[in-house]
Structure 1
């Protein structure tokens, strides 16, 4: 089988690796310059920064087994942060004791490890998937054509997937009905470490939902004291079209009010908008499939919205495809 996989985030890579290990021929496509999706790391003058997924947990036994395998390969490490929560009463230690994992030395190390030597075409935004008499072809935004392929797996956020699934109206309608929440993310870098015990903090209300000190994570060797800030979904929706400078300034102000120590002017700031950061609610589809057509869809939006959900969804899409051969 010749299989096209659109999207090289954790779901697409999960499916690709499972299919390749089963002896199938896969070809990945992604509009970004590299793999990772929301697990990608952003380059900056302070080094590599995790502006998307901050960590992940492993609750499903299959995913937990995979995580321990990745740990043995050196792709991931356990993160043991001093966790806090912030509410109207101020900062207090968090009671959340879940085991947390991160890619090391950056979050994208995991997806790069999964990618390995798999064939991939980056900087290629697929805009249309259509089927001829026997095979699938893909069209990209520059007018290029790719194919033929026997099967296609769509591993993009639901709003983008709905367009690519147009040959299977039932699947397209399901994807179109998924509401994805946006998130503005900001990185701040300081010359001197902030005088705070906080490594990570859940924020209960206001502009922010989370902030974390990057150097508290294993493998992050940075000259500056860098922090990642995530805006809440509600704030991000209201301020979707603000400039990056405006977002950085407003979220820096919110951070300064919460952190509980003096916050000097930042050496640098960086803002990024994740338009489809997470599904608004969990679902139980695992993956979508039209086995007669040979068209499949997977992603965190098919399950929990977490990294674990994305990986499990990719596994399920691959399983259904292989069962149908």
Structure 2
């Protein structure tokens, strides 16, 4: 019986790889520093219900991913979101002609990764700090000094800066990951006791500290009360205000929101801020996944492809494919 495969990170890329390997009959063990799965597709519970603070929706263009999303839809994990979409430029709102199909997890974004995880063995609240190889196998060490292993292969499915730190044993892969720039995003959720008097349900914003906002309550499967909105600051604004206190972030982004939404905005009944340090890659790559197959170490994530949700899923599939291919050789 060969040793299991370790997968570090239970965002969409890690779970995509885990599912493909599990389906192929291989044993996997997952690790995540957070208390639950989802990575940037995680949802945060709050007094206003469950909030999607990271990925707001996703699109499907690749045939394989489209087929998978249709399976998810049949199982009730996702639904189409067809918001009243707007653009805001120089403070002026105009309807967006964008026709693409947008998907969301139901009743929250993290429903997808939670369902994918299923009963796979996972260690949550376990931050892996080191990955090292003996003669035959890999061992992981966590922040508490505990060792985990032996593992036949390791798949690292974290944002590039975190992956870089875990790739000390493979300098070539470490240097590829180290060259990837990830952009931060401040996210703010606002709840209003009375629904705001605006038709806007989603908006792409320019010339503002914001670059996106969504009326969460317009997504399928969400509670309609209270009226809850998620705002994403632009990468540039987030970079400039990386260490700003959460109260100040809420105040500034609420101000930008009130200025552009075109209706009266009362004080929110509830507000929270979350900083995504590694929200998205600054540019796309065409790697699919990174691999040192001879040593059994693989890296996947949205940053290995398009930076989109679809890219994360495809990258996980590619890491699993390369691992399985190497086993067959």
Q: Which residue of structure 2 lines up, in the alignment, with residue 78 of structure 1?
A: 80
Distance 1:165 1:19 in 2: 21
Distance 1:182 1:222 in 2: 29
Distance 2:51 2:91 in 1: 30
Among 23, 26, 34, the residue aligned to 1:21: 23
RMSD of aligned residue pairs (Cα, Å): 0.6
Among 96, 102, 105, the residue aligned to 1:103: 105
Q: Which residue of structure 2 lines up, in the alignment, with residue 320 of structure 1?
A: 322
For the residue of structure 2 that corresponds to 1:202, the secondary structure is strand
Among 179, 182, 185, the residue aligned to 1:183: 185
Distance 1:269 1:46 in 2: 9
Query: What is the correspondence of 1:155-174 to structure 2 with a 5 Å cutoff?
Result: 155-174=157-176
Shift of 1:26: 0.2
Shift of 1:223: 2.4
Distance 2:254 2:217 in 1: 18
**Count of matched residue pairs:** 325
Distance 2:38 2:241 in 1: 26
Q: Is the 8 A contact 1:47 1:222 kept in 2?
A: no
Q: Is the 8 A contact 2:185 2:275 kept in 1?
A: yes
Q: Which residue of structure 2 lines up, in the alignment, with residue 219 of structure 1?
A: 221
Among 287, 290, 301, the residue aligned to 2:289: 287
TM (norm. structure 1) is 0.99
- 1:310 maps to 2:275: no
Q: Which residue of structure 2 lines up, in the alignment, with residue 199 of structure 1?
A: 201
Structure 2: stretches of 5+ with no match in the other structure:
none
Shift of 1:222: 4.3
Among 106, 115, 118, the residue aligned to 1:116: 118
Distance 2:47 2:10 in 1: 26
Among 296, 299, 315, the residue aligned to 1:297: 299
Distance 1:250 1:42 in 2: 21
Among 248, 273, 278, the residue aligned to 1:276: 278
Structure 1: stretches of 5+ with no match in the other structure:
none
For the residue of structure 2 that corresponds to 1:324, the secondary structure is helix
- 1:65 maps to 2:29: no
Residue deviations 1:188-237, cap 9 Å, x none? 00000000000000002220000010110000014211100000000000
Distance 2:207 2:36 in 1: 34
Residue deviations 1:115-146, cap 9 Å, x none? 01111110000000000111100000111110
Q: Is the 8 A contact 2:218 2:224 kept in 1?
A: no
Distance 1:144 1:192 in 2: 50
Shift of 1:166: 1.2
Q: Which residue of structure 1 lines up, in the alignment, with residue 146 of structure 2?
A: 144
Q: Is the 8 A contact 2:211 2:232 kept in 1?
A: yes
Distance 2:272 2:226 in 1: 14
Taking a change above 3 Å as real, the CA distance of residues 279 and 43 of structure 1, as seen in their structure-2 partners, is same
